[in-house]
Amino acid sequence: MRLLAITAGLIFVGLPLKAHDVVLISGGPALRSFEKYKKASHDKYWGNFIDSALTRAEELKKDLKPGDEIVWLVFRPSYVSRTNEDQTEYLKLIEERGAKIGLSPTYFDNKTQLFTLLRRDGSKEKPRICRLEYFGHSNKKCWMFDYSNRVDGGALEPLVVHVDDLEKISGSSFTPHAECVSYGCHSGEEFSQRWRMIVGRPMVGAVGKTDYSEGGMPKLSNGKEGSWVY
């Protein structure tokens, strides 16, 4: 019996661990031609949502389990628009910065492509998601990939994930104890709660605004009035 137990244990140890993905999503910057005359001017620096995601990736790499990978999804159209405005090849810069820490961006152009990228069946090709974090503009009802870029202060239908779109994201794409965070403004005022109800996984979000202006990870900009909530 003891030999059988030891043999079974060795077989179990020899089995490959089930791999999962950590998904980081970078939304896009505003155009300065829309923003520069506003009192509350957004995205003076083009790379707010790139640098924050890469900072977070470096933090998370320390705690990855064997076989787990970081998948970095980047909303391409906004960086193309900002490239044309600033005459700087931002996609090339994004790829170079990612390469420094061993990450390659996977670009998406609309929410339909994003939903496809988030659709997982637990196979080797499409491992389930154990963590998802969003860096970008938002309000209490939407992730806004293209804030003040194609349209000033608004958002066209393909450029946002609205709370009514969340039914297109399946909870079965996530591990049972997956952790999710939205670092956009106001996400904790409705989006996080609807995510938990529909997707079935908790999401941390901000009550109030978040501030990326100091670089690295965003901070709450409302002082004592702001908070992180589920």
Q: Taking the domains of the chain in order of start, what are their residue ranges?
A: 18-229
Helices (H), 118-160: none
Question: What is the pLDDT at residue 159?
Answer: 79
User: CA 38, CA 195: separation in Å to the nearest integer?
Assistant: 32
pLDDT at 35: 77
What pTM value is reported for the model? 0.89
d(CA 176, CA 30): 35
CATH numeric code, 18-229: 3.40.50
Residue 163 CA to residue 144 CA, distance in Å, equals 11
| SS3 call for 127 | coil
Q: Which residues contact 45 (CB under 8 A, 6 or more apart)?
A: 213
Q: What is the pLDDT along the chain (230 residues), one digit of tens a residue?
A: 444 444 444 443 444 557 999 999 999 998 888 777 777 788 899 999 999 999 999 999 999 999 999 999 999 999 999 999 999 999 999 999 999 999 999 999 999 999 999 999 999 999 999 999 999 999 999 999 987 666 544 444 457 999 999 999 999 999 999 999 999 999 999 999 999 999 999 999 999 999 999 899 999 987 667 899 98
> What's the CA gap between 19 and 150, in Å, rounded?
38
Cα separation, 100 vs 50, in Å, equals 13
Radius of gyration in angstroms for the set of CA atoms belonging to the chain, rounded to a whole number: 19
- What pLDDT shows up at residue 42? 85
Beta-bridge partner residues of 108: 75
H-helix or E-strand spanning residue 97: helix 90-100
**Dist. CA 170–CA 119, nearest whole Å:** 7
Q: Which residue has the tokens 């090339």?
A: 92
H-run or E-run covering 124: none
In angstroms, the CA 195 to CA 230 distance is 10
For residue 23, give the nearest of 188, 182, 193, 184 by alpha carbon.
Answer: 182
Residue 201 is encoded by which pair of tokens? 């996984």
